[in-house]
């Protein structure tokens, strides 16, 4: 069984400040990990993914995340927040090469607010 | 390629009525997934297809729910005798298995409100 924990359901940062959204996972098999962003009344858009290659993953819009197996973490960061980053962010895990149909298990999400 | 599309975008129905949602995946994607997202929660897996075969169903998918993908292209999700607890966003996603991407592409969702 897999699970994802996102610490902090709401995060508020100032424009230009560092964004840090936390994600910890639990998986009995080597995982694949994903960060998705969701704007109001829209579907999910992939920001970045870890699929057992480089542990530091760069995504779209200046986001990056680092896979740390020892800490079972996959935190999302961005050096400088923009107003357009305000959205809900979801961390998700799948079973990787062992299969499981690639279905995703999501965390409960973190709502990011960016203030002037 | 216009991405994953879902229809309708919004559906309001009365308790006890049946509803059906449609998902059109990206054309070359052989896997299709359904998820349900309630307010303040992350999406939860319901079921998935590889081509026309339904390979897995979540325990969340009660007997009132049925999904089909008859020709391995579009899919429908039907909810019979809707209940207020069925109110949620229903998301569809597709993926091309065997590739290196492992990325699921999501549609915009169908928001169901049961009154």
A70-83 per-position pLDDT tens digit: 999 999 999 999 99
- Name the percent of chain A lying above pLDDT 90: 78
Tell whether A10 is within 8 A of chain B (Cβ): no
- Our CA-based measurement puts residue B84 at a distance from the nearest CA of chain A, in whole angstroms, of 20
Which pLDDT value is given to residue A109? 97
* Nearest Cβ partner for B48 among A42, A103, A108: A103
Above 70 in pLDDT, residue A99? Answer: no
Of A34, A49, A103, the CB nearest to B45: A103
> pLDDT tens-digit profile of B28-47?
899 999 999 998 899 999 99
Give the confidence band of A62 by pLDDT, cuts at 50, 70, 90. Answer: very high
Sequence-separated contacts (24+) of B108-111 with Cβ below 8 Å: B108/A41, B108/A42, B108/A43, B108/B5, B108/B6, B108/B9, B109/A41, B109/A42, B109/A43, B109/B6, B109/B9, B109/B37, B110/B6, B110/B7, B110/B8, B110/B9, B110/B10, B110/B11, B110/B21, B111/A41, B111/B9, B111/B10, B111/B11
| Contact between chains at B4 and A43 (C-beta distance less than 8 A) | yes
Interface test with B, best of A30, A33, A43, A111 (most B CBs within 10 A): A43
B81-94: average pLDDT:
96
What pLDDT score does A98 carry? 58
């Amino acid at each position: 069984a897999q699970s994802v924990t996102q610490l902090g359901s709401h995060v508020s940062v100032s424009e230009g400040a560092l964004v840090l959204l936390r994600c910890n996972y639990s998986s009995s098999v080597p995982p694949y990990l994903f960060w998705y962003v969701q704007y109001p009344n829209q579907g999910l858009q992939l920001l970045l993914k870890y699929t057992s290659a480089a542990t530091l993953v760069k995504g779209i819009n200046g986001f990056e995340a680092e896979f740390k197996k020892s800490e079972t973490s996959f935190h999302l960061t961005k050096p400088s927040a923009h107003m357009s980053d305000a959205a809900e962010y979801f961390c998700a895990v799948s079973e990787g090469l062992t299969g499981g149909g690639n279905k995703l298990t999501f965390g409960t999400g973190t709502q990011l607010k960016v203030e002037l | 390629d216009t991405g994953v599309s879902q229809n309708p975008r919004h559906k309001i129905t009365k308790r006890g009525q049946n509803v059906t949602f449609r998902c059109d995946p990206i054309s070359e994607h052989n896997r299709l997934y359904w998820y349900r997202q309630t307010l303040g929660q992350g999406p939860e897996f319901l079921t998935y297809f590889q081509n026309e075969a339904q390979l897995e169903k979540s325990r969340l998918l009660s007997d009132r729910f049925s999904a089909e993908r008859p020709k391995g292209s579009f899919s429908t999700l039907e909810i019979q005798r809707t209940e207020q607890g069925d109110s949620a966003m229903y998301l569809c996603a597709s993926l091309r298995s065997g590739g290196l991407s492992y990325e699921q592409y999501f549609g915009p969702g169908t928001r169901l409100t049961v009154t």
